[in-house]
Amino acid sequence: MKHGVSAFLVAIAVGGVASILLPFLVSGYVDGNRQSASPSYVTSGKCSASQMSFLAGAKEYFGIYPASVRQPIAFPHKIHVKNGMPCETCHAGVDEGQQAAIPGAAVCMTCHQVIATNKPEIKKLASYYRKGEEVPWRRVYWFYPSAHVDFWHGPHIRAGVECQSCHGDMRKETVAVRKAGLNMGFCVNCHRSRHVSTDCTTCHY
Amino acid sequence: MDRRTFLKLSSLGGATAALSACDKSGKLRGQMIRFIPEERLVPGVAIWKTSLCRQCCSGCGLEVRVMEGEAVVTRHGQRGLMQMGLAKKLEGNPEHPVNRGKLCARGHAGLQVTYNPDRIRFPLRRTGPRGSGQYRQVGWDEAVTELSTRLGSISSQGKAGSVAFLTRALRDQRGVLVQRFLAAYGAPPAVRFEFFDDAVLRRANYLSFGRYQLPTFDLARANYVISFGADFLSTWNSVVAQNRGYGAMRQGRPGLRGKFVQVEARMSPTGANADEWVYAKPGSEGLLAVSLAQVMLSERLRPAEAAREAGARIEGWTQGLSDYSPEKVQDQTGVAAARIRRLARELAAHRPAVAIVAGVPLAQTNGLANALAVNALNALLDAVENPGGIFFTPRPPLAYLPSVEESSSAKSLAERILNNPVPIEALLVYEANPVFASPATWHVRETLEKIPFIASFGSFIDETSILADLILPDHSHLESWVDHVPESGSTTAVASVAAPAMLPLHHTRAMPDVLLDVAHRLGPKLDPVESALPWKSYQEMLQSAFEPLRNHAGSVKAQKADDFWSQVQQNGGWWSEQSDPPPKAPATAERSATVVKVAQPELDGDARDYPFNFLPYASQQFGDGSHANLPWMQEMPDVISTAMWSTWVEINPRTAERLSIRQGDLVEVRSQHGTLQAPALLAPGIAPDVVAMPVGQGHEQYGRYASGRGANPIKILCARVEPETGALAWAATRVNIRRVGTRGKLVLFGGALRESPRNYRYR
Amino acid sequence: MAPAKEQNQKAFRLKRRNWGMAVDEDRCTGCEACVVACHAENNIATVGEEQAARGRAMHWIRIERYYEGTFPDIKVKYQPVLCQQCDNAPCEAVCPTYASYHNAEGLNAQIYNRCIGTRYCANACPYEDRYFNFVNPAWDEPLNLQLNPDVSVRSVGIMEKCTFCIQRIRAAEINAEKEKRQLKDGEFNPACVQSCPTEALVFGDLDDPESRVSRLAKSNRAAKLLPDLGTKPKVTYLRRGSWYDEQNT
């Protein structure tokens, strides 16, 4: 009996792998890119669903996200939180839509026109702003495209989920680092404990 | 590379992955500077902005879904990334009287105009020989200076009259602006060129009803609809408005379902919906219409006086049309006498009934007579300006109204450019492509090549703009101020207007603003520039054009001028509360003297050498070919043939069998004026002595998706015209066909089993 | 920090729906607005001529055209065909990875993460309405700027199909939940339904006896596609009426 089950599973696995590989091997899995020499006054280039190096592909496959990213300015979250600024002040729209906004230079400069203008990091910020450039912040929290996840902040905040449940205690942090793994287990555990839908299409579509 | 590919590679024992093209640009992106956004949007939250569709002349109202995204843009001569509002989806504006929240396939694909990779990104100056496509980038100041210097020197030589402006029918303030610019400069009015231009029907409506415009159909209240060749549910006139009415006619009234009869020789997507599809010989539709009237008159089903003015246009009307009895016309039309009688009785018994005519019947040498015959039938059925009949859209009381084109495209192009005794010194082209959309016998390219200076406002390199010396690319319709006065599709007066839905993606400028800039630079050389063109920008012009509407009862009620203007923009326009019909043109001696004899058309080519009547038709995807560069349209399966990315020749299966032609075989179509090759499509809904071809493919130059694809049926047409309007009789060509090979390029979505190599019909 | 005031209130729950569609063949004119609207909404890739010639074009909704008779007595019927969201779906039973499954709202869902591309489901689907990404979808820049951020961009080797625009369902639900109210009939529509100029397509809750779609589903013109297969489709087709039908819906 047990052997029968495992043989069946092996058969499924072999069949599954074979069915993935066969089309690749038989051809057909050619990249649909038609390279054409277009003149310089029109746009060239292709954008495709997945566009990474082998290493990045491997990371995506195993669901490994970088824990920390190097930011252009060493932004201290803890100072801002300590001064009594709620998260929504800068991460505007977080209660409305899917993503939270990453504040632009213009938002920072509303205060930093006058506050702490002599600090080296603020000088960096001001120099971006003077050139009419945005601070090239890098995203800390995101999902790989192959996660096929559509996450909305709004409903979570309305349900009373604290920001720190997923993003860590920002009272102690300088630049943000990815605290929670934010993998599917993390999400489903919380959904289960709060008795909300764990149907796949709640998040994956 | 993604997890899937990784899985594949790792199970194959590992391989080195090459960086894809996109990866390189991804790296480039990292090095690019980022501009401070010019607008702030909440990320992930969609906002809706009103706009207007410019994909055809219907002028449907749009709602654009705008969301924040990152785009590569050019600002101050520098390329960089910017967070900006990007149009993500187009929907119909639910308030707009023409489309009421609905949108057609071509309207949806308007997005791909804005994001088209083949859009010209900045002004260009020709460096290579004409037609080579070799250009170099110039700044806007240099480009506008060059244009105004050219125009200035031509004007100084006293040759202002030799400047021509070539465009399509502009039913918006752009039309007014162009007109005023040309008048102030001293040049003749703009030449308007469109392949499917409806000049015959406008002329007929003027003669029959005193209205120089296309009709609006009240299908929703009609009980019986008979259409003579009109593809009104797919390509002709105000398609969305007509579809809305059609749906209501079928199932919008409990217990009452209207009947729809289509008369044509090649089953169109519209004809396929008919309850009764009637084959009539192409060009004989007028005879059939008059014969239907004859039955109603002789059987006293309708009074002859009901037709009034429209009846008086038809020879023999007052005598009861005895020459057109069903028995007399049955051989000429191919419709049996008994059937004509039955249809006539049904029409008279199930009023409100309405007749529609367009397409093939009007593109004949007897086109005007066919149109007048159907107009008379409508009048006899009491369908003119009555519920369930035809209406004419009133014009809104704007400060300036675009003039109505009275001449046909073919006639104005011939008189003003092709056969003009005064050589053209400079040509300005905007949204017209006559090199593509004209028969080879007209020699348009050869004539244009001789013009010393051509400037184009086009967004794309097409067959006409590739001849240009200077290209000043326009914004897309989502990036610019847009306005429109619909000619048809609404029973109330409508003036649509909308602000840009998104910031420009490329280094482009709106045509009207460029023209105003040129006018101000020319300054003293223009007649009174201050009074003719007093506006600094197109936006200012629109505001002053819409100002008088504030004093009329309409959809926007605001006391203050600024409130009114912002509300009009928010709503996507202004529409009147009244639905009074527009004023009739006064009866003239010329009009009352017009009496036509309805007869058979003359076809080009001997029936023995050229046994098939060749019918080009507006394609569902590309219209007249101007949407062939949109990939969604290329891959949208044609509803009748299910073909994608292709052209084809529709042939009756029995004819094909006789000529040993199989589906997908390469067929040569030969007229007296040229030949073309295209794959055969065996279509059960086409007459055995007719072959048909969609217009739209066969572009030599129109970006990566359209260039070098298929064949252009317009090229082999004869130059015959409808004599009174001078409109091209594009359905009057006879051709012969023969099989020349087995492998035509015909890509069908339906019919073939997926992934079955035996069914490939490709190369 | 996040507002916590709503925590104590009794949790508001949305009613469970049973989404379905009605397609009125009498209204459909084959204008194909739905086809392009679907492409625009759902990030469906344009595969190009060569792939299309190999039968790899993807149209989650398509218009089928049927001829009847021979010239000149010829009749045509148009039939928009999309995923029928079967309650007894053949595609679900054959999926070895449960990528194709049935959810509580009656949707026949496709979970791309689970899909390993066996294509069994496409073979099982009697309506031929599942589409496989044979090539990696690519957009010529800047056409990619149009992509709808609410919808996944699929990659090569994944099966995809009509979702009844689930992203619109979710957005409407999140909105309604925020306002603490139930969804109204016709409040939102899938892209095809929204654009349909003749209103041939109607979408709504089949469990709500008052909704337009459930009333149309009871029409005497109502029929299902391939009913003898027992798939229990949730798309109802309304047959073409005859002239001056005595009874309409």
Q: What is the total residue count of chain A? A: 205
Report whether C26 contacts B735 (CB < 8 A): no
State in words which class domain B124-195+406-575 has: alpha beta
For the segment C147-165, the average pLDDT, to the nearest whole number, is 93
* Residue C1 placed within a domain: no
Position A52 scores a pLDDT of 63
Position C247 scores a pLDDT of 36
- At position B121, the amino acid (one-letter code) is R
Position B723 scores a pLDDT of 93
**CA atoms within a 13 Å half-sphere pointing along the CA-CB vector of B167:** 20
Task: Render pLDDT for B652-683 as a digit per residue (tens, 0 to 9).
Answer: 999 999 999 999 899 999 999 999 999 999 99
Distance of CA B259 to CAs B230, B266, B268, B273, C65, Å? 16, 20, 17, 10, 20
* Sheet strands (E) in chain A: 46-48
Three-state SS for B38?
Answer: coil
Terminal Cα-to-Cα distance of chain A (whole angstroms): 38
Position A5 scores a pLDDT of 58
Closest CB to C137 among A49, A146, A204: A49
- Residue B392: left if φ>0, alpha if ψ -120 to 50, beta else—which one? beta
Sign of dihedral through CA atoms B331, B335, B339, B341? negative
pLDDT of C36 above 90: yes
- The more confident residue out of B27 and B745 is B745
Question: Is C1 within 8 Å of A50 when comparing Cβ atoms?
Answer: no
Looking at every residue in chain B, the average pLDDT score rounds to 90
**CA atoms within a 13 Å half-sphere pointing along the CA-CB vector of B756:** 9
Report whether B369 contacts B304 (CB < 8 A): no
Question: How many inter-chain contacts (A to C, CB under 8 Å) are there?
Answer: 142
* Band of pLDDT at residue C10, cut at 50, 70 and 90: low
- Residue C127: left if φ>0, alpha if ψ -120 to 50, beta else—which one? alpha
For the segment B632-637, the average pLDDT, to the nearest whole number, is 96
Position B474 scores a pLDDT of 97
* Residue of A24, A62, A134 best to disrupt the B interface, most CBs of B under 10 A: A134
Q: What are the residues facing C26 on neighbouring strands?
A: none
Of all residues in chain B, the percent with pLDDT exceeding 70 is: 94
Cβ-Cβ contacts under 8 Å, B44 against chain A: 93, 97-99, 152
Three-state SS for B113?
Answer: helix
pLDDT < 70 regions, chain A: 1-37, 49-52
For the segment B384-406, the average pLDDT, to the nearest whole number, is 91
The CATH 3.40.228.10 portion of chain B extends over: 199-391
Please count the structural domains in chain C. Answer: 1
Which of A 96-125 lie inside 8 A of B, CB atoms? 96-101, 104-106
Question: In CATH, what number is assigned to the domain containing residue C60?
Answer: 3.30.70.20
Report whether B692 contacts B655 (CB < 8 A): no
Cβ-Cβ contacts under 8 Å, C142 against chain B: 71-72, 115, 117, 505
Question: For residue B511, what are its two tokens?
Answer: 């045509």
Contacts of A3 (CB under 8 A, 6+ apart): none
Which long-range contacts (C-beta less than 8 Å, at least 24 apart) are formed by B413-422?
Answer: B413/B166, B413/B191, B413/B193, B413/B438, B413/B442, B413/B444, B414/B442, B414/B726, B416/B164, B416/B188, B416/B191, B417/B164, B417/B166, B417/B191, B417/B447, B417/B448, B418/B442, B418/B443, B418/B444, B418/B447, B422/B161, B422/B162
Rounded distance between C-alpha atoms, residue B670 and residue B668, angstroms: 6
Question: Is A145 within 8 Å of B34 when comparing Cβ atoms?
Answer: no
CB atoms within 10 A of CB B233: 30
For the segment B37-58, the average pLDDT, to the nearest whole number, is 90
The verdict on C66 touching B (C-beta cutoff 8 Å) is no
* Residue of B4, B6, B465 best to disrupt the A interface, most CBs of A under 10 A: B6
* Residue C247 placed within a domain: no
DSSP C50-114: HHHHTT----SSEEEEEEES-TTS-EEEEEEE-----TT-HHHHH-TTS-EEE-TTS-EEE-TTT
Cβ-Cβ contacts under 8 Å, B253 against chain C: 248
Task: Render pLDDT for B71-95 as a digit per residue (tens, 0 to 9).
Answer: 988 777 788 889 999 999 999 999 9
Domain extent, residue C33, equals 11-238
Question: Is C55 within 8 Å of B754 when comparing Cβ atoms?
Answer: yes
Rounded distance between C-alpha atoms, residue C194 and residue C36, angstroms: 12
* Band of pLDDT at residue B749, cut at 50, 70 and 90: confident
Is the CATH code 3.40.50.1370 the one for domain B199-391? no
* Band of pLDDT at residue B27, cut at 50, 70 and 90: very low
Rounded distance between C-alpha atoms, residue A156 and residue B453, angstroms: 63
Minimal Cα distance from C12: which residue of A?
A: A159
CA distance, residue C165 to nearest chain B CA (Å): 14
Question: Is A86 within 8 Å of C97 when comparing Cβ atoms?
Answer: no
Rounded distance between C-alpha atoms, residue B214 and residue B204, angstroms: 10
- At position C191, the amino acid (one-letter code) is A
CATH of domain B30-114: 2.20.25
Rounded distance between C-alpha atoms, residue A17 and residue C229, angstroms: 31
pLDDT of B698 above 70: yes
For the segment B556-578, the average pLDDT, to the nearest whole number, is 93
The CATH 2.40.40.20 portion of chain B extends over: 612-759
Task: Render pLDDT for C76-123 as a digit per residue (tens, 0 to 9).
Answer: 999 999 999 999 999 999 999 999 999 999 999 999 999 999 999 999
Position A128 scores a pLDDT of 92
Position B238 scores a pLDDT of 95
Report whether B520 contacts B530 (CB < 8 A): no
**Which backbone phi and psi does A74 adopt, to 5 degrees?**
-75, 85
Which of A 43-62 lie inside 8 A of B, CB atoms? 43-54, 56-58, 60-61
Position A51 scores a pLDDT of 55
Rounded distance between C-alpha atoms, residue C28 and residue B273, angstroms: 8
> Which parts of chain C fold into alpha helices (H)?
33-42, 49-53, 90-94, 120-124, 166-178, 191-195, 212-217
pLDDT of B197 above 50: yes
Report whether B540 contacts B400 (CB < 8 A): no
Q: What is the total residue count of chain B? A: 763
Rounded distance between C-alpha atoms, residue A153 and residue A95, angstroms: 6
Q: Which fold has domain B612-759?
A: Barwin-like endoglucanases (2.40.40)
Question: Is B755 within 8 Å of C64 when comparing Cβ atoms?
Answer: no
